Each structure stands twice: as C-alpha cells, then as structure tokens.
Amino acid sequence: MPDLIRGAKRWLAGLKPVRVPEAPSRSFKDLWPGDAARGARLVAGELEVLGSSRPLEPGASEQMGPGPGIGWAPSDGPLLWRAAAHGFGWLRDLRALGTDAARVRGRDLAHDWLENGAGQDLAQAPEVAGARISAWLGHWDFLAATADDGFRKALLTRLAHDGRAVVAGLPAEASHRGALVVMKASIAAAVALEEEGWLNRALRLLPGELERQFFADGGHVERSPAQHLLAVQDLIEIRNLLHGAEIAAPTQLAMVLERACQALRFWRHQDGGLALFNGTREEPAALVDLVLHHGQARGRAPMLLQDTGFHRMQGSRTLVIVDCGAPPAGRAPDLTTGLPRAGDRFAHAGTLSFELSVGRDRLIVNCGAAPAAEPVWRDALRATAAHSTLTLADTNSAELKDEGLGRRPERVAVDRQEQDHAHWLEVTHDGWRRPFNAIHRRTLYLAEGGDDLRGEDVVELPGGVTETLSWVVRFHLHPGVSASLVEDESAVLMRLPSGHGWQLRARGARITLEESVYAAAETRRTQQVVLHAEPDAEAVRWAISRVVPPGAEPKG
C-alpha cells in the first residue's frame, strides 16, 4: 500500500504546473574528484562503471547519422550500468578532463538523453532521477552555464519536473542508499529552484531517513564499505547544501555524520583503501582522506561495528577485518524499472570471510566485485568461493539473485575476547542450515605482536561430518604477494612486496595453491591457498605466521 500511495503522489504531482526559472538560484560545487582517464574514454564513446565498460554515444550527429544514441535503452547494458548512464555521474569525469571536447561531449549526451533517453522507465526511477539532479546542479557551470538558451531551458525544465517527482515520492521506497540520494536531490532541487514547500517536506522527513540509513554504531545499512563511503559523501553534501543556503540542519545530521565518519575509518586497511566486502572495489586512499577531511572526522577507527556486524583485530602492524553479521533483509525489486529496493542489492555470500594486511601490504583478500558487469561475472565475484572463508559442498552460503539474496544466513553469533592485547573471536552462521542442516563455526586468534594468526573452521552437522559433503577453506592472496608450496606440500610460503615472509600451515586438510582473480581498481590474476578438508575431518586448523630468516630482517 505505501508504494501505491507514493506512486499516486508522483502521478498527481506530474499534473501540476511547475515553475522553471532562468537559471538555478544557487550554484553548487561538486566536491569530489573525477577521473580524467575515464573522461577521455567517454569522449571516445565508452563509459566505465565500476570496472565495466560499454558504449555510450550521442546520436543524431553529422558523423553518426540520424537516430538515437547508444546507452539509454534496456538492450544497451546491464541494469546498474544503464542506471549510471541515466544518472549523469560521469559528468565528474568529463569535468576532470576539462577540455572543450569533454564539455561538448557532455552537452551532446545530455541533448541526446533529453531526446531519446528521458522517456525510459529507468530514467524516471527516483534514485536515478535524484542522481541526475545532483549531477546537473553540481556541474551546472561546466555543462550549461555557457550553452545556448534553448539547451539551458530544456535542462532546467526537466530538472524541475524531476525535482517535483522525487519530492512528491518522499520518503523514498528504497531501503538502501538510493533513498539518501533522493533526499539529497530533493533538498538540492528545492534550494536551486527556490521551492519552499519542497524544502520543508524534505527537512521534515530527513531525520527519519537518517535513522533508517545508519545503525547506531555509524555503519550504513547495506554493510558495504563502498556504499558507506558514498553515503558519507551524501551526508556531507546535504550539510553543505543547507549551510550554503543558511538553513538550519536537523541536529541528527551532525551526530550521524560524526558516527559515520568513524565507521568509515573502520573499513580502511593500512594502505588507506577500503576492505573488499559486499560490492566494494578499491577506492583511492586520497578520496577516502578527502571525505574524512570534509566530514571533519576525529578520533581513531573503532575495533568493532557491533550493529553493522564487522570486527577488527589488530596486533602491531597486522590488521584483520572480519564479516561477522547477517546480510540485510531482502525486498522485491521495483516492478517498473527492475531496480532493487532492498539493502542486500550489493550483498555477497561472504559471511565469516576476512581480510588481512600487514603494514601497507595486503596479504589475504576477498576477490572484489563487478556490480555493473554481466550477471555471470558479477555473481562469480559474489559467490562464497570468491571470499576468504569456508565453502561447503560447492554451495554458496547465501542464494544469489539479481536483486539481492534469497536464502541467506539468518543467525550469526559472535563471541569476542581480548587478553594481554591478544584477540580471540568465535563466529557461527547458519547459511547452510536449509540445504544441509549445517552450521559453520570459525575461530580466529591473533597474537599480541601480530606475527601469528591462528584459525579453526568447523562444519557442524547432526551425527558429524559425512564424506558426501566436501568442504574447502580458501585464502585469496593479493596480487602483490608471491607464493609457493614447500616441497612436501605441508605449507605455503608467501612474500609481501615489503620483503616480509609469511607461512600458512594447516592440519586436517590437503593444501593446494590455485589460480584466482582480484577485481579491484582493475581485474588482475592472483593466487589462492585452498585447504581441502580430509573426508573424516571434524575441523580444519590453520596458522598464518611471520617467517624471518636469521639475520635477514627486512626493513620497512
């Protein structure tokens, strides 16, 4: 029923006349850096979204001949890629390139979109329309300030209609960051078009949206470091919008932003980048620094996000980040656009996986993500086997669906203890309860000095483990790590770029060294250590410890 009411409000809003000014009453500055290399590729006709590249070309030009451009229609690419195309966030990359050709390409694409893309259902989805409003206003000087009157009028007319629609639909239907994007766009449109009624409605609903979007520990409800980073950027932009317009922000905004910035610190490895959980790819450390700077963040990273369901274990220069929570609840996608509306839209089947870094070197990782890729490749990286955890009977711990997850872990229990600066963590999940009536129990121990990480993985089944259910434990290695099996195949030796040597040993399993991939800033080949549990093994015990030859202590 709420969905029907919101849809009716948007439909009724479309019947009312909308005031279109000569120009936005306030100019906004987009805070975040673009990528000039991506901008150059877009000028050449290729849009990259989260590592997936496809043609995005304007049509109706003398060079290409008459007809619509490429990139707006359902057949032109996967759903998330097309949502990004319709959302115009790529203006940031064209601005970073900063050439006349980049400005012309932006205007040509915007003109083609108005002619051929604006009528697509996906273009009118609240989350996509909200992203487009923010992109147009944030890059108005670059895109439209020196354009002809007809082009500016067309942009402002569409912006006004989009603004009215997203405000009428508040609170947004999505239970993920998309609702925050809609809220930010509603405030931006209200300020730019001087619509006091829109602004009052958005400000009245903002505190409730903040409560829905963030846990009490500051973590974002999607449990994704990448989405958390974007959500913090949204909060900063909302704060700046209100401050620039001399409008008092709700008191909740400052409190939520402070907690969210601390949670953002939690997700960082010691190289400054984010851990690769739930749809996250590597983000430049400089961007994370910039976001924390604008967020006016203070303090150090917390050791756990209890509500979000993640733990950090740190000893000296060794850091372990562990997924100890159940995935967000699912929800049916929007029937018109196909866009997911649930917080599990980027969720991976990686419960109890962990990442390990030593100083600025990453050692154990997850495989990353390609959320805008074709389904086969996207879901290969979402699978349990693409994470540093246990896989039972070659079955994912959560069922992968286009819109999120189906079957999933429902109960994740955590017991953490610390003594003499050593950390002990025991976690269980029931993701395989329905197919196999099985429980995965993982215990981790990190010594005080960080030179010794020990683990135990157990599959608990009524009557004990049966030989019919094979299981393996995977440790994906960062591409910078060189690894080799020792002669008797009893251990794997691993060397970090810094020169430090580490060794992985196991009991109750056969050790192999196999191929893997690392889909972060770019997709690279790497290796994984795989522990194949012995048929009668009740547990696989393993240890990752530092190895330093006598007299060969490396520097750094």
229-243 per-position pLDDT tens digit: 999 999 999 999 999
Q: Give mean pLDDT, residues 476-490.
A: 94
In this structure, what is the dihedral angle of CA atoms 206, 211, 213, 218, given to the nearest 10 degrees?
120
Which residue type sits at 427? Answer: V
Domains recognised in the chain with CATH numbers: 309-547 (2.70.98.70)
Residue 333 confidence (pLDDT) above 50: yes
Q: Is 243 exposed, middle or buried (0-12, 13-18, 19+ CB in 10 A)?
A: exposed
Q: Which residue has the higher pLDDT, 63 or 217?
A: 217
Q: Which residue has the higher pLDDT, 512 or 338?
A: 512
Return the percentage of the chain with pLDDT > 90, whole number.
Answer: 83
pLDDT score of 16: 61
Which residue type sits at 112? Answer: D
* Residue 319 half-sphere exposure toward CB, CA atoms < 13 A: 23
d(CA 113, CA 1): 33
pLDDT score of 26: 85
pLDDT digits (tens, 9 = 90+) for 382-391: 999 999 999 9
pLDDT score of 49: 97
Q: Is 246 exposed, middle or buried (0-12, 13-18, 19+ CB in 10 A)?
A: exposed
d(CA 202, CA 27): 20
Residue 319 confidence (pLDDT) above 70: yes
Specify which residues 413 forms β-bridges with.
428
Q: Is 346 exposed, middle or buried (0-12, 13-18, 19+ CB in 10 A)?
A: buried
Going from the C-alpha of 180 to that of each of 21, 327, 335, 348, the distances in angstroms are 26, 20, 21, 22
d(CA 303, CA 414): 14
- First vs last Cα of the chain: how many Å apart? 60
Q: Which residue has the higher pLDDT, 37 or 333?
A: 37
* CA-closest candidate to residue 174, choices 316, 332, 17: 332
Q: Which residue has the higher pLDDT, 191 or 173?
A: 191
pLDDT score of 60: 60
d(CA 454, CA 214): 33
Contacts of 457 (CB under 8 A, 6+ apart): 390, 440, 441, 442, 473, 539, 540, 542
Return the percentage of the chain with pLDDT > 70, whole number.
Answer: 93
d(CA 452, CA 505): 11
pLDDT score of 2: 52
- One DSSP character per residue, 155-176 reads HHHHHHHHHHHHHHTPSPS-SS
d(CA 147, CA 296): 36
* CA-closest candidate to residue 458, choices 437, 474, 441, 473: 441
Which SS3 state, helix, strand or coil, does residue 94 take? helix
Cα Rg, the chain, nearest whole Å: 25
Place of tokens 């000039």: 36
Q: Which residue has the higher pLDDT, 283 or 362?
A: 362
- Cis omega (within 30 of 0) on the bond before 171? yes
pLDDT score of 556: 45
Contacts of 91 (CB under 8 A, 6+ apart): 34, 106, 135, 136, 138, 139, 142, 143
pLDDT score of 261: 97
Place of tokens 């005080």: 448
d(CA 116, CA 136): 18
Q: Give mean pLDDT, residues 398-420.
A: 95
φ, ψ dihedrals at 541, nearest 5°? -110, 140
- Can you read off the two tokens belonging to residue 419? 């003594």
Indicate the pLDDT class of residue 542, thresholds 50, 70 and 90.
Answer: very high
**Would the pTM of this model clear 0.85, i.e. be above it?**
yes
